[in-house]
Amino acid sequence: MSEEFLRRLDKQACEWAEGRHRTKRVGLWMAVFLAVGTVLEYVLGVTIDRNLPIMLAINIAEAAAILWFFMHVRRAWRSEEH
Amino acid sequence: MAVHEATRVAPHHEEEHNRPAMNQMGLWLFFVSESFLFAALASARFYIAGFDRPEHLNQALGLGITSILLTSSVFAYLAEAAIVRGDRAACKIYLLATIFLGLVFAGGVAIEWSTAEFTASEPYGTAFFSMTGLHASHVLSGVGLLALTYRLLSKGHFSAESHWGVEASIKYWHFVDVVWVFFYPILYLFSW
């Protein structure tokens, strides 16, 4: 096997690992964000009256995060091949 | 003749080139139309029952099933990310996890239905059973879609270059999750 081929293979493996690492980082941060948001919602919901504004704010933030990071809403206007 | 042939063939190629964008737009339009349906039920909850909710609502169960559904969404994201880089095995594992958690969520809703201290003839009960019932039916159909996707993956379908089926079914799952993000506090937590 040529050195060029091995170098290219190594580069592809690194890119693959980097992409996987980035994906898991996004997944982890989203999991933390959603968990914190849900617990905060629960605590506010059972302890505070007239909680509608803050609860709505938390809901919209969670929904926006899911739409952006998980559902890739920006792709709706792009024609990517897959 | 050759010019006529070229003209006849060209639109087909253009359609194929635009298909990913058409797929995306069609899916998002479907989500928008479903959103109107869920929004109608959510507004009906407030119209017929105001901000009232039963004293002995099972808050722990509500929090539990919400956590399960949000966790399933994380696994669904990881499944999509796996097929994007061509890792079919990881995609299948994450899909199985998503399916399992989805079924646990549906089971939790069933427990809530069977142990509820209110009935469907009460205003809050009507709203509760309608909203959770419609949402649970979407969860179950989502589970079915994901199971079909898993089966197709096992047969060798989908790849890093071509995985619209995986992406669409997972997007649907995330949509169901977003609906619950609003339904959960509307039913269990909102007060004014």
Share of chain B above pLDDT 70, in %: 91
Chain centroid to CA B18: 26
**Cβ contact (<8 Å) for B78 and A16?**
no
The pLDDT of B164-184, averaged and rounded, is 97
CA distance B1 to chain A (A): 32
Residue-wise pLDDT tens digits, B16-53: 666 778 889 999 999 999 999 999 999 999 999 998 88
Q: Which among B98, B97, B79 has a CA at the least distance from the CA of B89?
A: B79
Q: Chain A contacts of B66, Cβ < 8 Å? A: 38
pLDDT (0 to 100) of residue B118: 92
Least confident stretch, A2-11, B132-141, B150-159: A2-11
Separation CA B60–CA B66 (nearest Å): 10
The pLDDT of A10-31, averaged and rounded, is 79
Task: Tell me the helices (H) and strands (E) count for chain A, helix number first.
Answer: 2, 0
Chain A residue at shortest CA distance from B18: A79
For residue A55, give the nearest of B73, B164, B185 by CB distance. Answer: B185
Which tokens go with B83?
């097929």
Task: Tell me the helices (H) and strands (E) count for chain B, helix number first.
Answer: 5, 0
Separation CA A61–CA B32 (nearest Å): 18
Question: Which residues are within 8 A (CB) of B115 and not within 5 positions of it... i.e. 6 or more apart?
Answer: B58
Separation CA A18–CA B49 (nearest Å): 51
Residue A82's pLDDT band (boundaries 50, 70, 90)?
very low
**Cβ contact (<8 Å) for A82 and B182?**
no
- Record the pTM: 0.87
Is B149 touching A (CB cutoff 8 A)?
Answer: no
CA distance B120 to chain A (A): 24
The pLDDT of B139-168, averaged and rounded, is 96
Q: How many CB atoms lie within 10 A of CB B116?
A: 18
pLDDT at residue B3 greater than cutoff 90: no
pLDDT at residue A47 greater than cutoff 70: yes
Chain A residue at shortest CA distance from B75: A27
H-helix or E-strand spanning residue B164: helix B164-188
Give the mean pLDDT of chain A: 84
**Cβ contact (<8 Å) for B71 and A31?**
yes
Give the mean pLDDT of chain B: 91
pLDDT at residue B124 greater than cutoff 80: yes
Separation CA B15–CA B6 (nearest Å): 15
Is A69 touching B (CB cutoff 8 A)?
Answer: yes
Q: Chain B contacts of A80, Cβ < 8 Å? A: 20
Residue-wise pLDDT tens digits, B58-91: 999 999 999 999 999 999 999 999 999 999 999 9
pLDDT (0 to 100) of residue B54: 87
Length of chain B, in residues: 192
Separation CA B38–CA B26 (nearest Å): 19
pLDDT (0 to 100) of residue A81: 46
Q: For A3, which DSSP code?
A: H
The pLDDT of A60-67, averaged and rounded, is 96
pLDDT top residue among A19 and B99: B99
